[in-house]
Amino acid sequence: MHTEAIDPAGITWLRVSPKYVTVRVVGWAAGNLIVVGLLTVPLVMVLAGAWTWPPLWLAVAVPAVMLLLALWRLLLIPRQVRSIGYAERDEDLLIRRGIFYQRTLVVPYGRMQYVDIGAGPVERGLGLCTLKLHTASAGTSAEIPGLPAGEGARLREQLSARGEARLAGL
């Protein structure tokens, strides 16, 4: 996997499980299909002759645009998942994500307050989990989704041990 321009030099990213794509697709379906479905209601009503407003072109255009946007988002999901990466360095953990809006985050081990592991129903079914790091700042929002459960547990233990060794005050 190539390294993006804003990443620090010489980093080998560990990627999250490709199965996480499924989790994202399920989430995408739950959100977008419902919206598109709801927006299709006026079209059906106009076609059935029950409604005179909106005009047909509008009733077609709105769900069509939403559907295109949704499909585009769907196509992006595999690339977005591939763009998530993390790397453990001696003193800090790096997390990157994003294709268009990229973000590379550095969390020093000494700043971690606690580590969370969570798994939603879909993630649990696929044997994945999401790891969250918390610092004293709410803005940190350090999250690694789609980790295999074993890797998540290993990472949590590793981070806790390193954090304890380097814990600093606020």
Partner 1 sequence: MPAVKPGGTGIAAEAGAGAEAGTPGGGWLRVHPASPFVRGWFALAAIAFFVGRDTFERMLRGGPLIDQDIAGRAPWLLLGGGAVLLLAVLGYILGWYFTRYQVAEGYVRVNSGFLFKQQRQARLDRVQAIDIVQPLLARIFGLAELKFEVADAGASAVRLAYLRIGEARALRATILARASGVAADPDHPEAVVAEAPEHAVLSVPPPRLMGSLLLSEQSFFVVLGGAVSVVLSAVTENRSFYFYLIPAALGLVAAYWSSFNKGYNFTAAISPDGIRLRYGLLDTQAQTLPPGRIQALRVSQPPLWRIFGWYRIQVNVAGYGAAGNNGENSARTTLLPVGTFAEVLTMLSLVLPDPGTTDPVRVFTAGVNGLAPASGSASASGAAPANDGGFVTTPRRARLLAPLGWRRNGYSATDTALLIRSGRWWRHLVLVPHQRTQSMALEQGPLARRFGVVDLVLHTTAGPVAPRLIQAGLEEGRALLEAQSARARAARRRQTSEHWLEQVRPPVAAPAPAVEAEPREEPSNKEGPHHG
Can you name the residues that pair with 143 across neighbouring β-strands? 132
Closest approach of Cβ 133 to partner 1, in Å? 8
Residue 137 near partner 1 by CB under 8 A:
yes
- The answer to whether the beta carbons of residues 143 and 84 sit under 8 Å apart is no
Residue 101 near partner 1 by CB under 8 A:
yes
Residue 168 near partner 1 by CB under 8 A:
yes
Considering Cα of 166, then 142, then 18, then 125, what sign does the dihedral take? positive
β-strands 114-118, 85-88: how paired?
unpaired
Instruction: Identify which range of 40-48, 61-69, 78-86, 137-145 contacts partner 1 by CB under 8 A.
Output: 137-145
- Out of 102, 125, 150, 154, the only residue in the binding site for partner 1 (CB under 8 A) is 102
Q: Which of residues 1-40 bind partner 1 (CB under 8 A)?
A: 5-9
Q: Which of residues 117-136 bind partner 1 (CB under 8 A)?
A: 135-136
Beta carbon nearer to partner 1, 53 or 101: 101
Beta carbon nearer to partner 1, 39 or 106: 106
Beta carbon nearer to partner 1, 57 or 101: 101
Contacts of the segment 153-158: beta carbons below 8 A, 24+ positions apart? 153/117, 155/88, 155/131, 156/115, 156/117, 156/131, 158/88
Taking CA 95 as the corner, what is the angle to CA 91 and CA 100, rounded to the nearest 5 degrees?
A: 145
